[in-house]
Amino acid sequence: MSATLTYQEPYRFSAGALAVVVHLAFFSLLYFGVRWQSQPDQEFAVEMWSSLPNAEVAPGPPPAPAAPAPPVKVVAPPPPVKAEIEVREKKSRKVEVKEKPAKKNEAKEKAAAKARQEAERKELEKYDANLEQRRNDVREQARKEANVATQVQVERYQDKIRSKIRSKIIKVADVPENAEVIYKVTLLPGGMLMDDPVLLKSSGIPAYDAAVARAILLAEPLPVPDDVALQKMFRELKLSIRP
């Protein structure tokens, strides 16, 4: 912001009064000095003589010496108010010229600081987004690994269940190796059967289907994992049993 100096003339009235007084004093000195030096006209008496006397004429009294003029008092001129005002105006203009570049520099610095803050904010947002993405990737990878581990555990216990059921099957003659029977079972947390096995797909050999159903009942409690989370996955099972 430019600073403009406003100059007020504090000596305007006093300077005018001083000028009037000086002029009056100077006029008075001139007037009274002239009157002091002027002498009144002297009167002369003229006598007519028919002949000159022999006696010497006594000289008249010498004229009185003129009084010296009083010294003229030199009065200093009033201060150069106008010149001082011009000097101050020039100084004020210099101050304004000096302040304008400072204002421009300050605006540039503010703009640069704002640009830096905006760049830092964007960089921080980008960093946060990348960090959140990495966290999501880690969670997804952990979930996949957990699912893989869980699937491995489920398959391992399913194999244990099928193996135990096969060990309880009474052999039936003339059953091909590719014969398959599927039962649905509902288990309690300890591996006990809640209901009888439900036949979902027959092998085509009723004797083999019946032998597998009896083997499921004889194999309880079926082996289930101790983990509570995994036990929920063994709530209902579809068991595919082959010879």
DSSP code, position 117: H
Specify the CATH number for the domain of residue 228.
Answer: 3.30.1150.10
Residue 105 in any domain: the answer is no
Residue 218 in any domain: the answer is yes
pLDDT, residue 34, reads 56
Check the CA dihedral 156-157-163-169 and report its sign: negative
pLDDT digits 0-9 by tens, 15-24: 777 777 888 8
Return d(Cα 68, Cα 40) in angstroms, integer: 16
pLDDT digits 0-9 by tens, 187-216: 888 888 888 999 999 999 999 999 999 999
Return d(Cα 31, Cα 25) in angstroms, integer: 10
Residue 206 in any domain: the answer is yes
pLDDT, residue 208, reads 92
Q: ∠ CA 9-10-16 to the nearest 5 degrees?
A: 85
Better pLDDT: 43 or 192: 192
Question: Where in the sequence is the domain holding 209, given as residue range(s)?
Answer: 163-241
Number of Cβ within 10 Å of residue 92's Cβ equals 16
Residue 168 in any domain: the answer is yes
Return d(Cα 158, Cα 197) in angstroms, integer: 16
**DSSP string for residues in 21-44:** HHHHHHHHHHHHHHHHH--PPPP-
Residue 214 in any domain: the answer is yes
Query: Which range is least confidently modeled, 86-90, 137-141, 181-185?
Result: 86-90
**How many domains is the chain built from?**
1
Q: What is the mean pLDDT of residues 79-101?
A: 57
| Whole-structure pTM value | 0.42
Residue 235 in any domain: the answer is yes
Residue 183 in any domain: the answer is yes
Residue 145 in any domain: the answer is no
| Residue entry with tokens 């699912």 | 147
